[in-house]
Each structure stands twice: as structure tokens, then as C-alpha cells.
């Protein structure tokens, strides 16, 4: 309703009659108001006017006031009030009773109601209008300044790159309105810095940073709100420039040295992974140590296969199916061999004509359904071309390693061990005439990786256990009911192929030829090998290890393969992973580790949340160098250099022991500082040790098998499981065993002669070794002298034999007088010169004998003259029966002191020389004369 309508209504009321205060005041139903924080007057839209139809009546048509009531929040009436500015026009004003705060409450709502003045000054019969809603918005005043969330911002970036954002600063404003609470822009107030900031607070570098020129950049920034108020306090920004970040391993050492005897050493003590802030959720590292110097298996550079079996306590009785070629084992003579780092032979098979046919005499010892088959296998090889034999479907033919049919009582059993691709299979027929074959199948990566692997197959039918490198693998059992022809009931065994049953002809036809390398193929009938023994056979004393499993963080995993050549670490936390890598160690418990280079590899794979941009790390390669260990000194002593015994003792049934007091000592020499002079000196410490072979060899001519031989206590050798080769050229005792055992065996070595075969001397040489001959002892030379009786020497023919012995071309002229130890490496004196020297010496001795006879006779005559012929009736000295005996061994006996009554005889001889009568009774003359060497000689 407009104002004109209202006036018309009033005039109509007057025309109808003069009635007092008949109508209520009228106001708008809703008002919108605005008030500033620093003001209390509310500007309403529309303006506040109250109209009354009773106007222009006095009082009844006038507005006396406004009343403010609670709004929806219930607090509007407390903060606001309404006043009448003009009673006649009804104009009013809304204002706040107290200062308003936009930050605490930005909007207020309440209701307002107008009252007229009634019918008189006292307001009798006053009327009130309806209630109108008022919405008041408090407008903000820019009373606050921006405040930074952090007083100091830090960041680190790699050098040489431009970044869109290095760090973001942030400031806040406490004003309530968007105009004054928003930060309109930031500013860097430090001049001449290579950084810029945008209106959102993002800081970037304006040029590539160089850590060498300036490692740390520090500057200040400020902020402004949209009311242009500046921040109360500026913020400091610190940017650290890192050297160029290259993802990968940091601290890798390509060369690692190991001193034998150090136990375990960490391979990567300072290695850590740098991902350049790339978030990864899985890390896997593989460490590979290549011990190619070992060849097949572990510790084979120290001990042979047989020695390792003995040290591991394996049950004896195995039969070697691929022995070294010899007259007794000639079925491997046609197989080509390859060099090996250990003492065992490696046989090569080409898949066609390289086959070993084991003799029936050997096969007959392998009966029974309980046996253990062990072998070293390597498919293919660098020196072997791949097999070309194929069958239909373009699939390679099955390759047979061992094919055997043996007789068990009245039946025959058959088995064959074969490989096909990456599968190993065992066919077993318990009874070829009745039962059907059973096939055991294993799928193994070790079969086709062209590496050496140790296989141990324990058959205790119907149970079969396979160990590959000391780890057990379960088979998939297959009952083969197909049309497979049973092998003929005939005992035979092939290595490297199998026979063709349908083949008719004089020549054997082979099928399923094996292509690769084999070594140490043995079968032991009877009970199967214990698991502990099999594990020991492949156990390594050198390889990778992990320092302390308790230090592994959560989520970390570590795995080491049986040969300890591969170690795998896996985790999801970089810090825990770095600590784990630093715990990877190299362990070598060998006292005398094999020196040389062991290649080392580290392969890393990362998995990130964003697989497309995930880091890819290249493989790291290095090497471990095992330094030369202190060489052990093996000393043989307590023997010789001479062994003199009567000849009959050598001709006895047991002979004479050559080394009855042998002592073997192993020591290590190392440098020590002397306290007195501060200098280094060598010092030796005795150590417990294991020998692997000793050899006794006759020097000069080989033993004559018809007249002489070397005997060994075979009970001791068999009890210790040692091996012995006894020929006329040498005796070789082999096998890893302690020093005390070898002492016992060598002390039992005896030398025996046939009747009448005694010579004057025979020389032997003894030496020992260890670590497959890497370290050898000193060569102990023993000269054996045979003492002959006087009766045998009196015979002229024996004297001639003695002269021939002295004229042996291996002796020197100077050895005749002193019996010094002959040198086996020298033979420079010709027989003519030796004969001349002997003749001169014999002539000189004859002259001395004649002079001695004349001297004794003159003394005898002077004695008779002094007594004045007191004994005229006594018999005269008859020299017609005089016999002079020259013993060529007399000097040696006096030097060695082997005859206990020699000195006593010398005293009696002197008395005889003073008493010619006694000499005539004995009818012999003994003359003492000093030789060139000062030793007394008797003639």
C-alpha cells in the first residue's frame, strides 16, 4: 500500500466519524541491515517507517516507539535497539547497544514491532503493529595484519636444476571478510637472491644453484592482505643446496680385502641407497659371490671328494663308478677328462659315444633295493657343444646319467637316472619280470643352469629322497603303466647312456646319451646316507652370511642359498634396508684360505607407487681379494740320517721299521716385536693340522720286487680309511687325517729283504703334503746301512762285492773315509778315478801295516834282550799264520757308537800290543791309527 492510499483511507475514516485510535500501526514485514564494526547505526533496507490509519489524529495517528524482540538465535534483542526519530512520520532507527565484532559474529537476526501513542498522552488504548524480521550483517574493518604460519621455512634441493616450487610459505589474516582476510600477495624483501615467490607463496629458484659456490641461501619474505596491511613479522626461508643427486648406491667399494683367519668381515660397512626423494614401497637387493676357484662345491680346493667324505663321517663302502683310469679300472680310459681345481677327475660326455661300461665284477657288488647314488653334475659346459639329438615334436631326447640292471637273489631290478630339460627323473623296476616301473620326477632349476651341483639320491624303495646341494626335494610320484619294454634280465651298468634292447648286432647301440660333465659318481649299497652327512658333504666354510639377525628391522627379510654364494635382502623401509645391507658379511673359517679373487655383484630392484617413473639402478660389480695366508711349515724329524742294522734283521719276516721315531710338527711363522730392541722377529706356533698325503720313495734304483719290498701295517690304514698305493717306485698314502694318524701309519712302514740280498746301503726319501699338495713338508732322507758279520766279509768274493759297492757311481771319493750322506742329485765321480783313489789308499794302508809289524817285532826283541833270555824255552813268534782283517764298516761303527764293546776291545787290544805273547796266542794283530777325520781306525 502506497502513501496516497493511506491518506485516502484516513480521509474516509474522518468522513465516517471522529472515532479515536481505531487502527494498528503498519510496518514492513522484513528488513535487511548493514552495520560497520566501528559504528553502531544500522542502515536498513527499506528504511524503518511505521504508518497508522488514524493519522492525522493527535496521539492516535502518531508512533510512540519500537520494540525489539529476540530473533532465532535469542540474542538479537540484547545487542540492538530501535528508536523513533519522528512520531508524526513514524521514522525510526535501529542501532547496536555495544560494539559489534565481525570475527566473532558476522550476522544477527531479530524482530521489531511498532506502537502508536494511543488515545492520550498516557498511551491509553495504544495499539501495536505486526512483528517484522530484521537481518543485520556486520561489515568487516581491516583491523588485523597477516601472520605467517611458520617463522622459519627450510628446504633442500639438488644443485644444477630449476624447480617450479622449492618451498611454500603461508600467512593467515584474522579479519572476517574476504577482502581483508585474504593474502593478496607475498614479497621477498631480501635483495639479490636467486629466488622468486608468487601470490600463493610458492618459492622457486630463478637460476640453477651451485653447492660449491653457495651451499646455504637465507632470505626473508613478507605478506600483504587485500587491504594492503603488511604482515606483523616477516618469515625466514633457508634453502640448502645438495650436490647433484644420482639415484643409486653410495659408498660402494669395488675392492674388498680379506686376511685369512679374520673370521667374518662386513662387505659393505658404509653402503647406503639414495633414492633422491623418490617414494618406493619395496626394495630387493641380491648379493652374489662367485667362488669359481673352488670348481664344484665348497672346500674342494682344500680336500678331495674322498677326503671330504671321510671328514664328514660318511658310511664307508661306496663304489666309485668313474675311477681314475688304471690297469684295474680301465673302463674310464676312453672318456675325455677336464682339468679340475681339486684332485678329483672330471669326465666329459658328448651325448653320443662317450659312455662308460662298468664291468660285471663291479656291478655284482651293487645288488639290493637300498642304495645311495651320489654324483657331481654339470649340464652342458663351456667346452661342450649343445646336444643336437631330437625326437618328434622338436623336443630334445631324454639324457641318461646312470642306467643299471642288477641281480637280486633270483630276480633282476633296474633303475635309470635321467634328465630332460629342467626335470630329473628316476625310473625304478623292483622286479623286471613281474612289477611295473615307478617313475619319480623332480622339476629343478639346478638341472639346467649349467653350473656344478651335487646330487645325492637315497633309494629305500618305495621311499626315494633327493638332496641337491644339501637341500631336500620331494618328488612327484608317477606310476608308469605305458608300453615300456622291460629290460632283459641281464646284469650290466652304463654311465652316460643306456643300451638299446632291440638292437641286434655285435656292437652295442646307445640311446639317451648324456651331454655334460660328471665327477665323483659313487654308489653305496645298503642303508641310505644320513641327512647330516649329506649336508656336511656340501657345507661351505666360505661364503656370504648375515651379521646379526636381531638387528633386522620390521618388514625386512633375508635369505641365503645352501652354497652361501647368493644372499637376498628384501624390505620396504630405506633406513632399515641400509642398516641391513651393512650387516652382510663374508665368512671364511678355513685356516689356510685359498688366496685369489672372488667376483662380487650387487643387483637392486625397486618398486614405486608410480611404476612408470620408478628408479632403475644398474648392477654393481666388484671383487673380494683373499690375501695369501701364512704358509704352514710341516717339519719331519726324529729319523736318521742313518739307520744301521745287521743284515739278518732286514731278512726277517717283518723287516726293519724305517721311521720308528718319526715326529711331524706343523707350525705357523709370524712376525713379532721384540721388547728389548723394538725389532720384528719370526716366531713359530705349533698348530693342530690335517695332512692329506705322504710318500716314501727309494732313491736311485727302484725296489727289486724279487729281493726287497716295503711293508705297511694295512690294519692301521684300513681302520683310518686311508688309501695306499704300493709300487716298486714309491708308497703313497692319501686321505685327510690328523698328524698323529699319519705318524702311526708311517712308523709302521718296514723295509724287508730276501735272504742273501743284503747290500751295503739303500736310501729312502719321505715327504708329506696337505691341501691337495699346496703345502709340502721338508724331504727327509734316510740312509739304510746293512751290517755284515766278519765271517761273511772274510770271504774274498764278499770283499769283491764290497769293493763294487764302494765303486757305485752315485758315491763320491770323500765318502769312503767318513761315510757321509750321499747326495742323490750328484753323480760326478767316474769309476776310474774312484779305483785309483782306492788303490792309493790300500797301498798306504799296506805300508802302514808293514811298519806296524816291524815296530812290534822290534819291541818284542828289546823285551827279550832286557830279560836276558830268561825264557829260552818259550816259543818264538811265528808270523807265518798272520792274518790282517780290514773291516770296511769299522769306522762307521765307531762313529755311530752302535757296538757297545768297541771301546772295551780297544783297551784289550792295547794290552795285546804290549804283550806279544798274548798276540801270538790269538794269532792276530790289531793296529790303531788316526784317520784324516780324527777317528780311530783298527786294522
Q: What is the pLDDT of residues 234-292, one digit of tens each?
A: 999 999 998 877 788 988 999 999 988 888 899 999 998 888 777 888 889 999 998 75
Domain segments of the chain as ranges: 30-139, 147-242, 248-292+540-626, 305-381+397-537, 632-668+688-787
| pLDDT of the residue at 484 | 54
| pLDDT of the residue at 171 | 93
Q: Is residue 185 over pLDDT 60?
A: yes
| pLDDT of the residue at 468 | 87
Give CA separation, 124 vs 66, 321, 871, in Å: 17, 138, 207
**Coil, helix or strand at residue 758:** coil
Fold match between domain 30-139 and domain 147-242: yes
Q: Is residue 710 over pLDDT 70?
A: yes
CATH code of the domain made up of 632-668+688-787: 2.60.40
How far apart are the C-alpha atoms of 670 and 476, rounded to whole Å?
57
| pLDDT of the residue at 73 | 55
Give CA separation, 402 vs 350, 369, 529, in Å: 15, 16, 19
Q: Which residue has the cell 680385502?
A: 257
Q: Is residue 409 over pLDDT 90?
A: no
Average pLDDT over residues 773-793: 78
- pLDDT tens digits, one per residue of 611-657: 766 778 889 999 999 888 887 888 998 887 888 888 888 888 888 99
| pLDDT of the residue at 694 | 93
How far apart are the C-alpha atoms of 788 and 801, rounded to whole Å?
12
| pLDDT of the residue at 78 | 72
Structural contact between residues 200 and 169, judged by C-beta atoms closer than 8 angstroms: no
| pLDDT of the residue at 893 | 40
Q: Which of 50-64, 182-196, 436-450, 712-726 has the highest mean pLDDT?
A: 182-196
Please give the order of strands across the beta sheet that includes 423-429.
356-358, 492-495, 399-408, 411-420, 423-429, 438-443, 476-479
| pLDDT of the residue at 293 | 54
- To 5 degrees, how large is the angle CA 27–CA 32–CA 35? 120
* CA nearest to 546, candidates 563, 558, 557: 558
| pLDDT of the residue at 71 | 65
Q: Which of 287-291, 302-306, 308-312, 410-414 has the highest mean pLDDT?
A: 287-291
Q: Which of 34-43, 796-805, 839-848, 907-916 has the highest mean pLDDT?
A: 34-43
| pLDDT of the residue at 160 | 86
* CA nearest to 446, candidates 297, 318, 336: 297
Longest dimension (CA), the chain: 224
| Number of other residues whose CB lies within 10 A of the CB of residue 145 | 19
| pLDDT of the residue at 882 | 41
Q: Which residue has the higher pLDDT, 542 or 887?
A: 542
| pLDDT of the residue at 63 | 87
Percent share of the chain, pLDDT over 90? 17
- Report the 3 state secondary structure along 617-670: CCCEEEEEEECCCCCEEEEEECCCCEEEEEHHHHCCCCCEECCCCCEEEEEEEE
How far apart are the C-alpha atoms of 838 and 278, rounded to whole Å?
97
Average pLDDT over residues 113-142: 84
Domain 305-381+397-537 in CATH 3.10.20.90? The answer is no
Reported confidence tier of residue 306, pLDDT bands at 50, 70, 90: low
Name the burial class of residue 142, with classes exposed (0-12), middle (13-18) and buried (19+) by CB atoms within 10 angstroms of its CB.
middle
How far apart are the C-alpha atoms of 843 and 770, rounded to whole Å?
54
Mean of the per-residue pLDDT values of the chain = 76
Q: Is residue 752 over pLDDT 50?
A: yes
Fold adopted by 30-139: Immunoglobulin-like (2.60.40)
Reported confidence tier of residue 362, pLDDT bands at 50, 70, 90: confident
Average pLDDT over residues 95-113: 85
Domain 248-292+540-626 in CATH 1.10.287? The answer is no
Q: Which of 210-219, 362-371, 753-762 has the highest mean pLDDT?
A: 210-219
Average pLDDT over residues 122-129: 81
- pLDDT tens digits, one per residue of 166-177: 999 999 988 887
Q: Is residue 317 over pLDDT 80?
A: no
Q: Is residue 210 over pLDDT 80?
A: yes
Reported confidence tier of residue 918, pLDDT bands at 50, 70, 90: very low
Strand partners for 172: 147
Its CATH architecture, for the domain 147-242, is Sandwich (2.60)
Percent share of the chain, pLDDT over 70? 73
Least trusted range by pLDDT, from 22-31, 466-475, 561-570, 870-879: 870-879
Q: Is residue 360 over pLDDT 90?
A: no
How far apart are the C-alpha atoms of 37 and 863, rounded to whole Å?
167
| pLDDT of the residue at 342 | 59
Cell of 336: 675325455
Q: Which residue has the higher pLDDT, 10 or 16?
A: 10
How far apart are the C-alpha atoms of 714 and 723, rounded to whole Å?
10
Least trusted range by pLDDT, from 328-337, 374-383, 466-475, 590-599: 374-383
| pLDDT of the residue at 178 | 77
Q: Is residue 149 over pLDDT 90?
A: yes
| pLDDT of the residue at 542 | 84
- To 5 degrees, how large is the angle CA 294–CA 300–CA 303? 150
Amino acid at each position: 500500500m502506497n502513501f496516497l492510499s493511506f491518506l485516502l483511507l484516513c480521509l474516509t475514516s474522518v468522513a465516517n466519524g471522529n472515532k479515536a485510535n481505531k487502527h494498528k500501526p503498519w510496518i514492513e514485514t522484513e528488513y535487511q541491515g548493514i552495520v560497520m564494526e566501528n559504528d553502531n547505526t544500522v542502515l536498513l533496507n527499506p528504511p524503518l517507517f511505521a504508518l497508522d490509519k488514524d493519522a492525522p489524529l493527535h496521539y492516535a495517528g502518531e508512533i510512540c516507539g519500537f520494540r525489539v524482540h529476540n530473533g532465532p538465535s535469542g540474542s538479537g534483542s540484547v545487542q540492538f535497539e530501535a528508536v523513533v526519530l519522528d512520531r508524526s512520520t513514524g521514522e525510526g532507527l535501529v542501532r547496536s547497544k555495544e560494539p559489534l565484532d565481525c570475527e566473532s559474529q558476522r550476522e544477527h537476526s531479530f524482530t521489531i514491532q511498532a506502537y502508536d501513542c494511543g488515545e492520550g498522552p498516557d498511551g491509553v488504548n495504544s495499539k501495536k503493529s505486526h512483528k517484522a524480521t530484521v537481518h543485520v550483517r556486520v561489515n568487516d574493518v581491516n583491523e588485523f595484519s597477516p601472520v605467517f604460519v611458520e617463522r622459519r621455512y627450510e628446504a633442500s634441493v639438488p644443485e644444477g636444476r630449476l624447480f617450479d616450487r622449492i618451498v611454500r610459505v603461508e600467512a593467515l589474516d584474522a579479519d572476517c571478510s574476504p577482502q581483508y582476510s585474504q593474502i593478496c600477495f607475498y614479497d621477498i624483501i631480501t635483495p639479490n637472491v636467486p629466488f622468486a615467490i608468487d601470490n600463493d607463496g610458492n618459492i622457486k629458484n630463478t637460476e640453477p644453484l651451485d653447492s660449491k659456490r653457495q651451499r646455504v641461501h637465507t632470505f626473508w619474505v613478507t605478506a600483504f592482505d587485500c587491504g594492503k596491511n603488511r604482515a606483523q613479522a616477516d618469515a625466514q626461508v633457508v634453502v640448502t643446496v645438495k650436490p647433484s643427486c644420482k639415484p643409486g648406491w653410495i659408498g660402494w667399494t669395488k675392492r674388498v680385502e680379506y686376511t685369512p683367519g679374520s673370521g667374518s668381515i662386513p662387505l659393505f660397512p658404509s653402503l647406503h641407497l639414495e633414492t633422491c626423494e623418490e617414494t618406493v614401497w619395496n626394495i630387493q637387493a641380491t648379493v652374489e659371490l662367485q667362488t669359481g676357484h673352488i670348481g664344484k662345491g665348497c672346500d674342494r680346493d682344500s680336500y678331495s671328494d674322498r677326503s671330504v667324505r671321510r671328514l664328514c663321517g660318511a658310511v664307508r663302502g661306496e663304489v666309485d663308478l668313474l675311477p681314475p683310469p688304471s690297469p684295474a679300472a680301465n673302463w674310464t680310459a676312453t672318456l675325455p677328462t677336464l682339468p679340475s681345481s681339486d684332485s678329483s677327475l672330471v669326465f666329459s660326455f658328448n651325448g653320443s659315444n662317450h659312455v662308460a661300461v662298468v664291468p660285471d665284477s663291479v656291478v655284482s657288488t651293487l645288488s639290493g633295493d637300498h642304495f645311495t647314488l651320489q654324483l657331481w653334475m654339470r649340464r652342458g659346459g663351456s667346452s661342450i657343444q649343445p646336444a643336437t639329438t631330437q625326437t618328434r615334436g622338436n623336443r630334445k631326447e631324454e639324457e641318461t646319467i646312470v642306467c643299471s640292471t642288477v641281480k637280486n637273489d633270483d630276480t633282476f631290478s633296474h633303475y635309470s637316472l635321467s634328465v630332460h630339460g629342467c626335470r630329473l627323473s628316476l625310473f625304478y623296476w623292483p622286479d623286471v619280470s613281474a612289477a611295473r616301473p615307478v617313475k619319480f620326477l623332480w622339476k629343478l632349476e639346478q638341472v639346467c643352469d649349467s653350473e656344478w651341483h651335487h646330487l645325492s639320491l637315497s633309494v629305500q624303495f618305495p621311499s626315494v629322497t633327493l638332496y641337491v646341494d644339501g637341500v631336500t626335494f620331494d618328488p612327484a610320484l608317477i606310476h608308469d603303466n605305458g608300453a615300456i619294454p622291460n629290460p632283459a634280465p641281464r646284469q650290466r651298468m652304463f654311465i652316460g647312456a643306456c643300451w638299446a634292447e632291440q638292437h641286434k648286432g655285435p656292437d652295442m647301440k646307445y640311446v639317451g646319451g648324456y651331454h655334460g660333465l660328471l665327477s665323483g659318481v659313487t654308489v653305496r649299497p645298503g642303508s641310505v646316507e644320513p641327512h647330516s652327512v649329506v649336508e656336511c658333504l656340501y657345507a661351505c666354510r666360505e661364503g656370504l652370511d648375515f651379521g646379526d639377525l636381531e638387528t633386522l628391522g620390521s618388514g625386512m627379510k633375508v635369505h641365503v642359498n645352501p652354497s652361501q654364494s647368493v644372499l637376498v635382502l628384501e624390505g620396504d623401509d630405506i633406513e632399515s634396508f641400509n642398516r641391513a645391507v651393512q650387516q652382510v658379511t663374508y665368512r671364511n673359517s678355513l685356516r689356510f684360505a685359498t688366496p685369489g679373487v672372488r667376483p662380487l655383484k650387487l643387483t637392486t630392484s625397486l618398486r614405486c607407487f608410480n611404476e612408470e617413473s620408478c628408479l632403475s639402478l644398474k648392477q654393481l660389480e666388484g671383487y673380494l681379494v683373499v690375501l695369501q695366508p701364512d704358509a704352514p711349515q710341516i717339519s719331519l724329524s726324529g729319523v736318521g740320517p742313518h739307520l744301521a742294522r745287521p743284515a739278518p734283521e732286514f731278512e726277517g719276516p717283518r723287516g726293519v721299521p724305517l721311521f720308528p721315531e718319526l715326529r711331524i710338527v706343523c707350525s705357523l711363522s709370524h712376525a713379532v716385536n721384540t721388547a728389548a730392541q723394538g725389532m720384528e722377529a719370526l716366531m713359530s706356533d705349533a698348530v693342530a693340522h690335517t695332512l692329506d698325503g705322504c710318500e716314501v720313495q727309494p732313491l736311485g734304483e727302484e725296489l727289486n720286487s724279487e729281493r726287497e719290498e716295503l711293508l705297511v701295517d694295512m690294519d692301521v690304514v684300513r681302520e683310518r680309511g686311508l688309501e695306499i698305493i704300493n709300487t716298486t717306485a714309491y708308497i703313497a698314502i692319501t686321505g685327510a687325517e690328523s698328524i698323529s694318524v699319519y705318524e702311526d701309519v708311517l712308523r709302521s712302514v718296514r723295509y724287508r729283504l730276501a735272504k742273501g740280498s743284503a747290500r751295503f746301503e739303500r736310501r729312502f726319501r719321505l715327504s708329506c703334503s696337505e691341501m691337495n699338495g699346496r703345502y709340502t713338508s721338508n724331504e727327509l732322507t734316510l740312509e739304510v746301512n746293512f751290517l755284515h758279520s766278519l765271517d761273511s766279509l772274510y770271504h774274498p768274493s764278499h770283499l769283491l762285492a764290497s769293493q763294487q759297492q764302494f765303486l757305485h757311481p752315485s758315491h763320491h771319493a770323500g765318502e769312503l773315509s767318513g761315510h757321509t750322506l750321499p747326495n742323490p742329485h750328484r753323480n760326478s765321480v767316474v769309476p776310474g778315478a774312484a779305483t785309483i783313489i782306492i788303490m792309493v789308499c790300500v797301498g798306504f794302508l799296506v805300508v802302514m801295516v808293514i811298519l806296524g809289524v816291524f815296530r812290534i817285532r822290534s819291541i818284542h826283541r828289546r823285551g827279550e834282550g832286557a830279560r836276558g833270555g830268561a825264557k829260552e824255552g818259550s816259543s818264538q813268534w811265528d808270523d807265518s799264520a798272520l792274518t790282517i782283517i780290514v773291516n770296511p764298516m769299522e769306522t762307521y761303527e765307531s762313529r755311530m757308537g752302535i757296538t757297545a764293546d768297541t771301546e772295551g776291545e780297544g783297551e784289550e787290544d792295547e794290552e795285546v800290543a804290549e804283550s806279544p805273547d798274548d798276540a801270538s796266542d790269538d794269532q792276530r794283530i790289531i793296529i790303531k791309527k788316526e784317520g784324516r777325520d780324527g777317528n780311530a781306525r783298527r786294522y
